[in-house]
Amino acid sequence: MYKNKIISLCLAFTLIFSCSFLTISSEKAYSASVQDRINQATQNKKAALDKINKSKEQKAEIMSKKEKIDHEIDLLQAELDEIDAIINEAEQGIAQKEQEIKDYELKIESNDADFRKRLRAMDENNSASYIDILLEAKSLSDFFIRLETVREITEHDQAVINEMIALKKGVEVIRNELVLKRDEQKEARSLVSDKKSVLDAKVAEQNAIISKINNDINLQEKLYEESKKLEEQLKNSIRSSLSTSSSAGSKYKGGKFVFPAPSMIYMSSEYGYRTHPVTGVKYKFHSGVDLAAPQGTNVLAADAGTVRMAGWNGGYGYCVIIDHGDGVATLYGHNSKLLVSAGQSVSRGQVIAKIGSTGVSTGPHLHFEVLINGSTTNPAPYIGL
Ligand SMILES: [Zn+2]
């Protein structure tokens, strides 16, 4: 008996709950799905940014390695230039010495020819050979004089030729030394050149990697921009949907809101034009009021409504937007913690978040906005300031 009563009560409750749930479920699903898509876009944006940063790090690492190798290549090139200069100098020396050798050879040849000519001339003038000259001696002493004369002439000529041969040999020694030096340098050059080729190949490889990383960065930057655009569009779609909203149950009757930051110490910034406290840009329009309050204290829903967004919202940091119906909405920025999620119904005065300083903010405070048909208005009168 008693048991049955409990069961039927439960059934009744279940029915009532499912019915009321059904009436708000489509609204909830819409907000939740937009919020999901915003979160996804935000996540994609962050992932792209992470990849870009990682790629840039990789690139910087390779660039610094490449710089070192480039420096080594420069040193090797300087070495090659030096070796080339030595080889060049040696080759010039070799050419010069070879010319000298040739000159000596010519001289030796012509001296030899002269010598032979003189010998022949001697023959011709006297119409006789050396032997005849000697045989024509009139006495033994005359024979020895003649012999001595012939000997002196031939010895002198031979000495001149021998000296030239000796000089030529000296030049040949120098030439051979130069050839040896040149060949040694050529060997050294081929070693240095091999080393340089290896480094050149390494640099080419690194250049290929860098160009691949650059392509990756370009791609991720595109993805980042696309995600950012989508995120903005979705956030705008929430804002514009606020202007046409007539949902969220009870209609807004224009009464005063619950003060959203009960632990407020002071109002740190008014609605309207001012100097931005972070960027320092003058006359920047401030779209809400800043209520300075201790970190982690309660942020209350100004009135009953449906949460349109609860998540990261750029400069607003962790942000909540509540749709109160009839085109009235409130925004709560810079929270340290969010206690509601998109699509959820909230009651007037419900704790929806904790005071923080997320996004573009100088210290813990609530940035509170009142939106009428999607446009901001001075929130001060709405919260009794
Ligand atoms: Zn503010």
Residues in the chain: 385
Looking at domain 62-222, which CATH architecture does it have? Orthogonal Bundle (1.10)
Residue 286 has pLDDT above 80, yes or no: yes
> Which residues make up the CATH 1.10.287 domain(s) of the chain?
62-222
Which tokens go with 125?
A: 């003038």
Please answer whether residues 335 and 299 qualify as being in contact, where contact means their C-beta atoms are separated by less than 8 angstroms. Answer: yes
Which tokens go with 220?
A: 């991720």
For residue 12, the model assigns a pLDDT of 45
**Chain segment 190-236, per-residue pLDDT in tens:** 999 999 999 999 999 999 999 999 999 999 999 999 999 988 888 88
Instruction: Identify the burial level of 44 via C-beta atoms within 10 angstroms of its C-beta, where 0-12 means exposed, 13-18 middle and 19 or more buried.
Output: middle
Integer distance in angstroms from the first to the last C-alpha of the chain? 59
Mean pLDDT of 72-76: 94
User: Cα 205–210–212 angle (5° rounding)?
Assistant: 95
Q: How far is 255 from 335, CA to CA, in rounded Å?
A: 25
Band of pLDDT at residue 121, cut at 50, 70 and 90 = low
Percent of the chain whose predicted confidence (pLDDT) is above 90: 52
Please answer whether residues 267 and 290 qualify as being in contact, where contact means their C-beta atoms are separated by less than 8 angstroms. Answer: yes
For residue 18, the model assigns a pLDDT of 40
CA of 368 to the centre of ligand 1 (A): 7
Give, in order, the Cα–Cα distances in Å from 289 to each of 240, 348, 380: 21, 20, 7
CA of 299 to the centre of ligand 1 (A): 15
CA of 232 to the centre of ligand 1 (A): 19
CA of 53 to the centre of ligand 1 (A): 30
Which DSSP letter does residue 325 get? E
Residue 75 has pLDDT above 80, yes or no: yes
Residue reference for tokens 């446009």: 375
For residue 123, the model assigns a pLDDT of 56
Most confident of 3-12, 138-147, 188-197, 250-259: 188-197
For residue 108, the model assigns a pLDDT of 87
Q: How far is 242 from 238, CA to CA, in rounded Å?
A: 6
CA of 47 to the centre of ligand 1 (A): 28
- The CA dihedral of 104, 106, 111, 117, to the nearest 10 degrees, is 170
Mean pLDDT of 28-49: 81
Residue 15 has pLDDT above 80, yes or no: no
**Chain segment 148-161, per-residue pLDDT in tens:** 887 887 788 788 88
Mean pLDDT of 369-380: 89
- Distance from the Cα of residue 95 to its chain's centroid: 52
What is the pTM assigned to this prediction? Answer: 0.55
Q: Helix 2-126 vs helix 140-243: angle between axes, to the nearest 10 degrees?
A: 160
Residue 88 has pLDDT above 70, yes or no: yes
Band of pLDDT at residue 54, cut at 50, 70 and 90 = very high
Question: What phi and psi, each to the nearest 5 degrees, are found at residue 263?
Answer: -95, 15
Q: What CATH code is assigned to 245-385?
A: 2.70.70.10
CA of 380 to the centre of ligand 1 (A): 13
For residue 319, the model assigns a pLDDT of 95
Residue 269 CB contacts under 8 Å (≥ 6 apart), including other chains? 277, 286, 289, 290
**Chain segment 220-231, per-residue pLDDT in tens:** 999 999 999 988
**Closest alpha carbon to 329 in 310, 366, 347, 302:** 302
Work out the mean pLDDT of the chain and round it to a whole number. 84
Mean pLDDT of 302-314: 91
CA of 162 to the centre of ligand 1 (A): 109
For residue 28, the model assigns a pLDDT of 58
Question: What phi and psi, each to the nearest 5 degrees, are found at residue 271?
Answer: -75, 140
> Which residues make up the CATH 2.70.70.10 domain(s) of the chain?
245-385
Instruction: Identify the burial level of 336 via C-beta atoms within 10 angstroms of its C-beta, where 0-12 means exposed, 13-18 middle and 19 or more buried.
Output: middle
Residue 127 has pLDDT above 60, yes or no: no
Band of pLDDT at residue 122, cut at 50, 70 and 90 = low
CA of 253 to the centre of ligand 1 (A): 26
Percent of the chain whose predicted confidence (pLDDT) is above 70: 82
CA of 377 to the centre of ligand 1 (A): 13
Please answer whether residues 384 and 256 qualify as being in contact, where contact means their C-beta atoms are separated by less than 8 angstroms. Answer: yes
Which tokens go with 29?
A: 């699903």
CA of 367 to the centre of ligand 1 (A): 4
Band of pLDDT at residue 125, cut at 50, 70 and 90 = low
For residue 277, the model assigns a pLDDT of 66
CA of 268 to the centre of ligand 1 (A): 9
CA of 322 to the centre of ligand 1 (A): 17
CA of 259 to the centre of ligand 1 (A): 16
Which tokens go with 272?
A: 């309207």
CA of 372 to the centre of ligand 1 (A): 17
Give, in order, the Cα–Cα distances in Å from 50 to each of 29, 64, 230, 232: 31, 21, 18, 20
**Chain segment 97-107, per-residue pLDDT in tens:** 999 999 988 98
Buried b (16+ CB within 10 A) or exposed e, 72-99: ebeebeebbeebeebbeebeebbeebee
CA of 290 to the centre of ligand 1 (A): 5
Residue 316 has pLDDT above 70, yes or no: yes
